[in-house]
Amino acid sequence: MKILLFLFCILSSSHLAMARDYCNGRFAYCVDVPNQLQWLPEADNGDGRHFKLPNSNADILVFGSNTPSVFFYTDSDYLKEKQHRYKTGMTVTYERLKDKTYTVSGYREDGQVFYHVIKVNNGQEVVLHLNYPESEKTKMTSIVKQMARSFKLH
């Protein structure tokens, strides 16, 4: 019994060491933040936060917004408009539009890799942006997967 308790404690603590939740009260979303990322201060308006990977040029950002364009579209129409915008000026290599979530990745005009998740609900959007040089793709893969899988709008 002690061995099982010991293993449970080790597994639980290792999971906790791998990520911490960032939850935003203003826009009601959460995301797991891998432990290798540095937390930068939350935005003054409370909409989100940047994260930094040491010795990297990656731009990692999560935020929410009430943009005027959101109010003039249904949630579905807004995501379709976003989908159209991404296909103009960027090279899209993956996209998925399902329910109220649009996930898209590819290459920006400057050659950087992007992976974005946009979720909408009743005129609000929450966005997970991961942008990084292609040379950092290997070290960013696990960060992208963990953050994208855990990104939830509540």
Classify domain 21-153 at the CATH class level. Answer: alpha beta
Contact 91, 105 (CB under 8 A): no
The mean pLDDT of 10-18, rounded to a whole number, is 42
In angstroms, the CA 147 to CA 21 distance is 10
Domain ranges of the chain: 21-153
Tokens describing residue 69: 């364009």
Tens of pLDDT, residues 22-64: 999 999 999 999 999 999 999 999 999 999 999 999 999 999 9
Spatial separation of the C-alpha atoms in residues 126 and 103, rounded to whole Å: 12
- Predicted confidence (pLDDT) per residue in 63-85, tens digit: 999 865 656 778 888 888 899 99
Distance, CA of 8 to CA of 64 (rounded, Å): 36
User: Is-above-0.75 flag for pTM?
Assistant: yes
pLDDT tier at 2, thresholds 50, 70, 90: very low
Up-side HSE of residue 131: CA atoms within 13 Å toward CB?
13
